[in-house]
A and B are shown apart, each in its own frame.
Chain A
């Protein structure tokens, strides 16, 4: 379970999150929607531990761990996964080696046995097939020369292999055509279960037709200003963010 209380944070002295309160129980998928500049990406980076973001108050815990005290790799080993809005290219790093290094680093951190290359490749091939990805994607350098859609699929592939307990999807729908959107959503839905929760950050309701959330939160000016069911997403799609922003102004 993810529990965020009164979280304030910013970057370069500018406060962006103005007191976030949010609970995502195990097994639930929550969506965070909001206009540009409302703090959606900042929230995902603060939760995953990116340098340069300063937490000025509040707390964030995950399954009893104080997230904000942990380096990014420890958060990952504890089960947190961030699907990047802009996946990073790693020239010279082979995708399969990268995935195996990540999986085994997490397993080591949790005191589990590492996977050998044969067992890993079997796992990776199966996951690749499920996501309708070309096999050569494992042999290529991480995200180098990938199309926008391939990069997003590669994020979901990593998630499928690392099997996090909490996934934060930061605008995973941006740059995806409708077929890719469907495949990526199926990849996320396949993870759903009592031990998996997700925070789906998006600007548009479209993604939420495929990944149906248990709850929808509206983020504006660094605060959650409304919470509702999936119907809230459709309401926003019709009325836009202006009405919500007017309410809280």
Chain B
């Protein structure tokens, strides 16, 4: 594949950057980006996810006000921070009364090491806005929505979430849009000792959109980062999750379900570093692929030398609904400690004809029987979602997705 269009795009980004005000973080990022550009399939981490489609992205500001999309935000009855094309929209937001939330100039979080990731460097060059959410020690901040609405152009929001010791927050992240938008968010979590973050993501960008998200989580002693991603949208999507279990007894759950049809491509890439002893990581990743869709799962678990009694598990399951769908899986374990429990498993299959016949023999029509089996397949991943309204919203979206697949 020619990488020329990508180089041209990288050049356009570099030119656009030259017009910006100087900032040490941005300057570092720009230096990095000028040297590395955008990743080509020759970069190992991007082998299965070519970014060629990114070359079609128009950098020009979109015509439509993202407020037109606000009606599509699911009503979960909780406070929300809404961003439109990368900018905070106070008029669409209902910030929590009792929680410190700052918007405006981005809080960089993971610099400079984060800049080794091409898209984090790009985000750092252009991020103009973001939410900084700080939960004080011992506080249960309840549920907060973080919404991004896109109507076009390129958006690089930069969010940071910090929890004090024994604090708690459920963050429901929702991305939706219309048209050929490029959305490149970076979110960093710092989870203090004994604190818990539940991070639930509903990605339903437009069918022409490109969504490339990078998430960093640093999890302290006895703390938990519990995440679930539902990917439904985007022409091209990838979410990279970099999780570091930094203190003893830390836990991370990185669960995902990707439901794709048509020619969609979605990639879920995880990197879990067990840097401390007695930490636990769990990953359940489900791909349901119809049409010519392509799903990717790359998951690395790195166990450092001092991370004894690590308990790491990764399960990847794929359900192929058509012979032209494709799932690429690259699990990886790197273990430098000698007393650990670490494993991964992969199972890829089609709808089981025995199960289908069993349901039909009981009077359930074929389409409904297939739907039941697909729901059952994803169910295990959804079961972990404790906040019922978001789970209901996801179930509804899954139902709509299924009907769209039946119709196509």
Give me the interface of A with B, judged by CB distance under 8 Å.
48-51, 71-73, 75-77, 81-82, 84, 87-88, 90-93, 98, 101-103, 105-106, 109, 158, 162
Asked if B393 is at the interface of the complex by the 8 Å CB criterion, the answer is no
Is the beta-carbon distance between B353 and A51 smaller than 8 angstroms? Answer: yes
Asked if B372 is at the interface of the complex by the 8 Å CB criterion, the answer is yes
Stretch at the interface among B262-270, B277-285, B374-382: B374-382
A75-B73 Cα distance, complex, nearest whole Å: 44
From the candidates B353, B354, B357, B380, name the one contacting A92 in the complex (CB within 8 A).
B380
B372 partner residues in chain A, CB cutoff 8 A: 93, 98, 101
B17 shortest CB reach to chain A, Å: 48
Is the beta-carbon distance between B358 and A84 smaller than 8 angstroms? Answer: yes
A7-B363 Cα distance, complex, nearest whole Å: 24
A50-B354 Cα distance, complex, nearest whole Å: 9
A90 partner residues in chain B, CB cutoff 8 A: 355, 358-359, 373, 376
Asked if B368 is at the interface of the complex by the 8 Å CB criterion, the answer is yes
Asked if B408 is at the interface of the complex by the 8 Å CB criterion, the answer is no
Report the number of A-B residue pairs with Cβ-Cβ less than 8 Å: 71
For B364, give the chain A residue with the smallest CB separation: A105
- Known: A73-B366, A88-B355, A105-B368. Is A93-B376 also a contact (CB below 8 A)? yes
Is the beta-carbon distance between B380 and A73 smaller than 8 angstroms? Answer: no
A81 shortest CB reach to chain B, Å: 8
Is the beta-carbon distance between A76 and B355 smaller than 8 angstroms? Answer: no
A88 partner residues in chain B, CB cutoff 8 A: 354-355, 357-358
A81-B366 Cα distance, complex, nearest whole Å: 17
Asked if B332 is at the interface of the complex by the 8 Å CB criterion, the answer is no
From the candidates A72, A81, A103, name the one contacting B357 in the complex (CB within 8 A).
A72
Interface string of B335-372 (1 = CB under 8 A from A): 00000000000000000011101111111111011001
Is the beta-carbon distance between B376 and A91 smaller than 8 angstroms? Answer: yes
B374 shortest CB reach to chain A, Å: 10
Interface range on chain B (Cβ under 8 Å from partner): 20 to 34
From the candidates B359, B360, B376, B380, name the one contacting A71 in the complex (CB within 8 A).
B360
B376 partner residues in chain A, CB cutoff 8 A: 90-93
A73 shortest CB reach to chain B, Å: 5
For A75, give the chain B residue with the smallest CB separation: B361
The main secondary structure of chain B at its interface with chain A is: helix
Is the beta-carbon distance between A73 and B358 smaller than 8 angstroms? Answer: no
A161 shortest CB reach to chain B, Å: 10
- Give 17 A-B contacts (CB < 8 Å), ordered by A residue: A49-B360, A71-B360, A71-B366, A73-B364, A73-B365, A82-B361, A88-B354, A91-B376, A92-B375, A92-B377, A98-B359, A102-B363, A102-B364, A103-B363, A105-B363, A105-B364, A105-B365
B380 partner residues in chain A, CB cutoff 8 A: 91-92
For B378, give the chain A residue with the smallest CB separation: A92
B353 partner residues in chain A, CB cutoff 8 A: 51
- Known: A93-B372, A93-B376, A105-B365. Is A73-B355 also a contact (CB below 8 A)? no
Is the beta-carbon distance between B361 and A48 smaller than 8 angstroms? Answer: yes
B359 partner residues in chain A, CB cutoff 8 A: 90, 98, 102
With A73-B369, A76-B361, A93-B373 given, name 5 new contacts (CB 8 A): A72-B357, A88-B358, A90-B358, A90-B376, A92-B380
B14 shortest CB reach to chain A, Å: 49
For A90, give the chain B residue with the smallest CB separation: B355
A156 shortest CB reach to chain B, Å: 13
A105-B366 Cα distance, complex, nearest whole Å: 11
A93 partner residues in chain B, CB cutoff 8 A: 372-373, 376
Is the beta-carbon distance between B363 and A76 smaller than 8 angstroms? Answer: yes
B361 partner residues in chain A, CB cutoff 8 A: 48-50, 72-73, 75-76, 81-82, 84
B370 shortest CB reach to chain A, Å: 12
Is the beta-carbon distance between B362 and A162 smaller than 8 angstroms? Answer: yes
- Known: A92-B380, A93-B376. Is A101-B354 also a contact (CB below 8 A)? no
A101-B373 Cα distance, complex, nearest whole Å: 13
A150-B373 Cα distance, complex, nearest whole Å: 22
From the candidates B360, B363, B375, name the one contacting A162 in the complex (CB within 8 A).
B363
B373 partner residues in chain A, CB cutoff 8 A: 90, 93
A93-B379 Cα distance, complex, nearest whole Å: 9
Interface string of B73-103 (1 = CB under 8 A from A): 0000000000000000000000000000000
A214 shortest CB reach to chain B, Å: 25
A103 partner residues in chain B, CB cutoff 8 A: 363
From the candidates A76, A87, A92, name the one contacting B360 in the complex (CB within 8 A).
A76
B375 partner residues in chain A, CB cutoff 8 A: 92
B354 partner residues in chain A, CB cutoff 8 A: 88
B72 shortest CB reach to chain A, Å: 29
A158 partner residues in chain B, CB cutoff 8 A: 362
A76-B354 Cα distance, complex, nearest whole Å: 16
A102 partner residues in chain B, CB cutoff 8 A: 359, 362-364
